[in-house]
Structure formats: structure tokens, C-alpha cells
């Protein structure tokens, strides 16, 4: 266990490669090699050097210095628009990050979480050292993302409008949303509510889907409209101002607490759908007899609530793995100086029918 180090002598002269070199009587470079390129020197000498290092309390090359000299830090960033709290609260986000962490582990890369905040003294996207970054579901007007680009960092976009030069990983939100829409149409629903989440923006979103921010939100909405437009059904929408449960409930109430309420509600996410189920229960509306509810994501929540949620599955773990793999590949390519056309991964979605949806008005 821990010994050889002590506290209270914080002011002790720092031990560097040179300290050890002097002690052993070799050049600084040889000591460096003893740590970083073991095959570049004889075994006995290396032993002596390592022993001296141990004795002097030297742990290994200073990471910051090494980062500067090698141009490599051993860490990659993940950038969110949302506050980081979200990264640990939302089940979809945690699933995603967990998969990334798992995929990254064998590479030895560490994961640094960044917000896209750019007020304040330190702007992480500009001031934190990293080898590359995942841009996850970010507001694309964000200055933080712009910093990342200008730093010429290897980037991968996830749940983000693809850009030609930047590798991206997305799920086929639009097809998934279409499948959900067809599902309720097939069940006979003709008065349909749509419930999005987002951080801000006007409400008449059906007039201009482009105004919805967030790539996924936009694509899912477009998918719904792909089907509903031609079918000529009556569509009503609400949009809550935030991603919390409270916001979802607020939106749900807007949609359900009225005489001409929809017979089916499509939700941007399972988390939102959960809010709808709660509100429906409170209003005494039976699901699925009087109301069909369809979520999105196939969040673990979807099978925990009653009735279980009909939803559109995306393989969030696969998304995380793909994102991590693409990023490491992009970093490797940048390091090697080779350039290849950016890869754009599109993962499939799949409608999962459970208990929360059913035919309209059954006797």
C-alpha cells in the first residue's frame, strides 16, 4: 500500500527526469526512455533508473509536460448543451455515456465531461486539453462547438445534423417516427396529439418544423408529419419548455385537459410519455382504451410503467459504442495524418408495440 510519499513536504523540490538522471549518472533522455520506451535501453540500467525513481518518489513523466511534447493527452471530451446534471439524470444519456465509457476503457482514454457554457473565465471547449471530442445533442448555435472546430480537434457528431466533413453517428429518428405515426393511423386514430420537448422556441411548430431545436426532435417531428400530412388527420401539438417531468406533465395537460382531446399522443421520448401517462391517470382517462400513448427511445422506463409503453426503440448502447469507436478512429487518422471521407453512421430504429396503444374507441 501507499508509502514513500508524505504530506507536509509539499514544498519539497520537484523531482523531474533530470533529478533522476543526475542521481544515476545518465542523460535525461535515457531516463525518459526508461519510462516511455523500455526497449531502448538495457535491462539492468533500466532497473537502476526505476529503482532510483522509486527512491526519489518519482511517479512517472508529468502528464502536462508529456501532453505538450507529444501532442497527446489521453483524454477525450463529451460536450452537452444541457447542464451536466442531465447527463446523469436522463436514462438515455446515462445509457449512452455508459456505453462510451465501456468502449473507451480498453483504449486507456479517459472521459472528460464538458458543458457548452461559454460564459465565465474558463471555457471548457476552448481551454481543456483533449485529443478529440464527442458533440452530443448540442445546440448547433453553440459557440463551444465552434471553438472545438477551430481547435481542429477530431470530432464526432452524435444526434446532431450531419455535416459533410464531420463523422457522425445518428439513429434513424425519422423512420422511427414514421413507424409510430403509421401505427396509430392503422389503429384508426384521426385526432392526434404531438408532444415535443425542447429548451425554447415558439409553439406553432407545425407551421415550421425547422424551428424545433435539436436534431432528434426535428427529425422525429418530421417523421410524424410525413405520415400525418398525407393522411389529412387532425394534429394538435404542445411543446414543453424543458426536459423535466414537470414540463412533460404541463405539456400533457395542455393536450388532454380539453373536450376535443386527441385519442392518441405521440411523444418525443419515453420520459415525456411517462408524464402523459401520469396526467391521463389523474384526469381519469384510461390508457389505452380512451387514449393511446406512444413514446420514443425504449428507455428502461418503458417496461417499468403500467401500462407498458409502446415506443420506438433505438439501441442506445450501440450508439455509444459506435460514437466511441468512430472517435478513436478519427483521432488515430488525424494523428497519422491520413485523411479519409468522414463516416456517417445511421443506426436503425424499430417500433415496439406494448400495452399503451390500442384501437380507437373499442366497445
Partner DNA sequence: CAAACCTTCTTGACCGGTACAGAAGACGTG
Partner DNA sequence: CACGTCTTCTGTACCGGTCAAGAAGGTTTG
The binding site for DNA (CB under 7 A) comprises 14, 16-18, 25-30, 32-33, 35-37, 39-42, 45, 61-62, 65-66, 68-70
Residue carrying the nine cell digits 382531446: 261
Contact call for residue 121 and a second copy (CB under 8 A): yes
Using the minimum distance from each CB to a second copy, give the nearer residue, 146 or 355: 146
Q: Point out which residues pair with 77 in neighbouring strands.
A: 112, 133
Contact call for residue 308 and a second copy (CB under 8 A): no
> 136, 147, 224, 228: which one contacts a second copy (CB under 8 A)?
147
Contact call for residue 29 and a second copy (CB under 8 A): no
Report CA Rg, the chain.
27
Q: Point out which residues pair with 350 in neighbouring strands.
A: 313
Partner whose binding site includes residue 347, from DNA, a second copy, none (CB under 5 to 8 Å by kind): none
Partner whose binding site includes residue 149, from a second copy, DNA, none (CB under 5 to 8 Å by kind): a second copy
Within residues 41-60, the interface with a second copy by CB under 8 A covers 57, 59-60
Contact call for residue 337 and a second copy (CB under 8 A): yes
Partner whose binding site includes residue 106, from DNA, a second copy, none (CB under 5 to 8 Å by kind): a second copy
> 27, 38, 40, 151: which one contacts a second copy (CB under 8 A)?
151
Partner whose binding site includes residue 33, from DNA, a second copy, none (CB under 5 to 8 Å by kind): DNA
Separation CA 238–CA 267 (nearest Å): 10
Using the minimum distance from each CB to DNA, give the nearer residue, 1 or 11: 11
Q: What is the full DSSP assignment across 38-69?
A: GGGS-HHHHHHHHHHHHHHT--SS-HHHHHHH
Using the minimum distance from each CB to DNA, give the nearer residue, 14 or 200: 14
Contact call for residue 354 and a second copy (CB under 8 A): no
Closest residue by Cα to residue 206 from 185, 190, 228, 183: 228
Contact call for residue 113 and a second copy (CB under 8 A): yes
Q: Is 313 left (phi over 0), alpha (psi -120 to 50) or beta?
A: beta
Within residues 71-110, the interface with a second copy by CB under 8 A covers 71, 73-75, 77, 83-85, 87-89, 94-95, 97-99, 101-102, 105-106, 108-110
Q: How many residues bind a second copy (CB under 8 A)?
A: 71
Partner whose binding site includes residue 32, from a second copy, DNA, none (CB under 5 to 8 Å by kind): DNA
Whether omega for the bond prior to residue 121 falls within 30 degrees of 0, making it cis, is: no
Separation CA 62–CA 57 (nearest Å): 13
How near is the Cβ of 132 to DNA at its closest, in Å? 17
Separation CA 192–CA 233 (nearest Å): 7
The sign of the torsion formed by the CA atoms of 211, 212, 214, 215 equals negative
> 5, 39, 42, 207: which one contacts a second copy (CB under 8 A)?
5
10, HSE (Cβ side, Cα atoms, 13 Å): 2
> 16, 117, 278, 290: which one contacts a second copy (CB under 8 A)?
117
CB 192 within 8 A of CB 228: yes
Q: What is the full DSSP assignment across 70-95?
A: HT--SEEEEEESS-HHHHHH-HHHHH
Contact call for residue 127 and a second copy (CB under 8 A): yes
Using the minimum distance from each CB to DNA, give the nearer residue, 56 or 113: 56
Separation CA 132–CA 323 (nearest Å): 12
Using the minimum distance from each CB to a second copy, give the nearer residue, 102 or 257: 102
Q: Which residues contact 70 (CB under 8 A, 6 or more apart)?
A: none
Amino acid at each position: 500500500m501507499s508509502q514513500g510519499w508524505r504530506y507536509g513536504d509539499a514544498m519539497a523540490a520537484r523531482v523531474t527526469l533530470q533529478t533522476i538522471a543526475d542521481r544515476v549518472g545518465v542523460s535525461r533522455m535515457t531516463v525518459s526512455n526508461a519510462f516511455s520506451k523500455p526497449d531502448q535501453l538495457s535491462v539492468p540500467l533500466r532497473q537502476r533508473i526505476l529503482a532510483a525513481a522509486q527512491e526519489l518518489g518519482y511517479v512517472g513523466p508529468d502528464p502536462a509536460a508529456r501532453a505538450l511534447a507529444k501532442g497527446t493527452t489521453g483524454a477525450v471530451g463529451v460536450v452537452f448543451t444541457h447542464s451536466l446534471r442531465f447527463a446523469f439524470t436522463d436514462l438515455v444519456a446515462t445509457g449512452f455515456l455508459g456505453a462510451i465509457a465501456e468502449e473507451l476503457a480498453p483504449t486507456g482514454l479517459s472521459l472528460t465531461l464538458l458543458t457548452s457554457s461559454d460564459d465565465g473565465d474558463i471555457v471548457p471547449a476552448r481551454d481543456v486539453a483533449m485529443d478529440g471530442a464527442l458533440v452530443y445533442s448540442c445546440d448547433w448555435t453553440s459557440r463551444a462547438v465552434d471553438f472545438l472546430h477551430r481547435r481542429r480537434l477530431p470530432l464526432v457528431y452524435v444526434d446532431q445534423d450531419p455535416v459533410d466533413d464531420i463523422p457522425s453517428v445518428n439513429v434513424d429518428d425519422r423512420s422511427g417516427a414514421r413507424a409510430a405515426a403509421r401505427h396509430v393511423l392503422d389503429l384508426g386514430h384521426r385526432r392526434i396529439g404531438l408532444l415535443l420537448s425542447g429548451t425554447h422556441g415558439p409553439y406553432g411548430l407545425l407551421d415550421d418544423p425547422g424551428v424545433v431545436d435539436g436534431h432528434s426532435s426535428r427529425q422525429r417531428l418530421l417523421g410524424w408529419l410525413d405520415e400525418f400530412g398525407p393522411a389529412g388527420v387532425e394534429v394538435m401539438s404542445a411543446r414543453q419548455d424543458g426536459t423535466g417531468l414537470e414540463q412533460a406533465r404541463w405539456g400533457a395537460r395542455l393536450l388532454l385537459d380539453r373536450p376535443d382531446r386527441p385519442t392518441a399522443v405521440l411523444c418525443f421520448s419515453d420520459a415525456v410519455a411517462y408524464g402523459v401517462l401520469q396526467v391521463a391517470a389523474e384526469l381519469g382517462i384510461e390508457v389505452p382504451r380512451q387514449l393511446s400513448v406512444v413514446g420514443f427511445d425504449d428507455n428502461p422506463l418503458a417496461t417499468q410503467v403500467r401500462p407498458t409503453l409502446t415506443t420506438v426503440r433505438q439501441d442506445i448502447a450501440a450508439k455509444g459504442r459506435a460514437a466511441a469507436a468512430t472517435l478513436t478512429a478519427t483521432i488515430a487518422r488525424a494523428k497519422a495524418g491520413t485523411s479519409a471521407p468522414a463516416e456517417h453512421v445511421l443506426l436503425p430504429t424499430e417500433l415496439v408495440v406494448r400495452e399503451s396503444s390500442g384501437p380507437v374507441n373499442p366497445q
